[in-house]
Chains A and B, each alone.
Chain A
Amino acid sequence: AQKVTQAQTEISVVEKEDVTLDCVYETRDTTYYLFWYKQPPSGELVFLIRRNSFDEQNEISGRYSWNFQKSTSSFNFTITASQVVDSAVYFCALSRNQAGTALIFGKGTTLSVSS
């Protein structure tokens, strides 16, 4: 069965703190894709990153970084020096490389960054 678990329901931090959002996935596929999406208060989900199962290189984009570890089936997301604008719901998602299947989302982590 395919499954995405985001164990942290809500996280609250103060500006400039670093914060890591956890994502653990389950799949029997050897080829798959992992995603992170951000949903700000406006409601529209925004794509952040996509990784395929053969690329375990960590990625950094400004204050955002992602740690993909197949050994632990995790794809964690770290925000460095958090800002109030980072306040949002963050979703991790898993896609199977198979026609006719759809994206599986985790339940999301609500991040609140206070000033």
Chain B
Amino acid sequence: DVKVTQSSRYLVKRTGEKVFLECVQDMDHENMFWYRQDPGLGLRLIYFSYDVKMKEKGDIPEGYSVSREKKERFSLILESASTNQTSMYLCASSLPGGGTTNEKLFFGSGTQLSVL
């Protein structure tokens, strides 16, 4: 079975800190995604990547950046954390599907980030 592992389940940071959220998948998937989930807003896409060193902005990329140096690892970076970035962050991966998202997503368990 595919496993998507997020490094932390809970994280508490202070405003202004640089925050790294790590995600690793073990099934050689080309596609990787970062979503944030907030009550009443559902899942919103922050960034995604179709290949190593490639990245695409999602719906809400402001205040975030990403890094994909290796195929199995996709990192989300909060350059200067703010309180409005307190959220559940979900990483996902999938097969390429020709660069589309027609294939099912495999999700990690999420990281609940609190910015104080």
Show the binding face of A for B, using Cβ within 8 Å.
Answer: 9, 33, 35, 37, 42-47, 50, 52, 91, 95-103, 105-108
* A102/B88 in contact, CB under 8 A: no
Known A-B contacts A33-B102, A107-B40, A107-B42; A102 and B107 likewise in contact (beta carbons under 8 Å): no
A42 to B99, CA, bound (A): 30
* A45/B107 in contact, CB under 8 A: yes
* B102/A97 in contact, CB under 8 A: yes
Interface size on B, residues (CB 8 A): 27
Q: Is the interface of A mostly helix, strand, loop or mixed?
A: loop
Q: B64 near A: Cβ within 8 Å?
A: no
* A101/B100 in contact, CB under 8 A: yes
Known A-B contacts A42-B109, A44-B110, A45-B90; A102 and B102 likewise in contact (beta carbons under 8 Å): no
* B110/A100 in contact, CB under 8 A: no
User: A-B contact count, CB below 8 Å?
Assistant: 63
In the complex, what residue of chain B is closest to A94 when comparing beta carbons?
A: B101
A45 to B42, CA, bound (A): 12
Shortest distance from the beta carbon of B99 to any chain A beta carbon, whole Å: 3
Known A-B contacts A91-B42, A102-B58; A43 and B100 likewise in contact (beta carbons under 8 Å): no
7 cross-chain pairs, A with B, having the tightest CB-CB distances, nearest first: A99-B99, A107-B42, A45-B107, A47-B104, A105-B43, A43-B110, A44-B109
B68-116 CB contacts (< 8 Å) to partner A: 88, 90, 92, 98-102, 104-110
A100 to B42, CA, bound (A): 21
14 A-B residue pairs with Cβ-Cβ distance under 8 Å, sorted by A, are: A45-B105, A47-B104, A47-B106, A50-B104, A95-B102, A97-B102, A100-B99, A101-B101, A102-B48, A103-B33, A105-B43, A105-B44, A108-B42, A108-B43
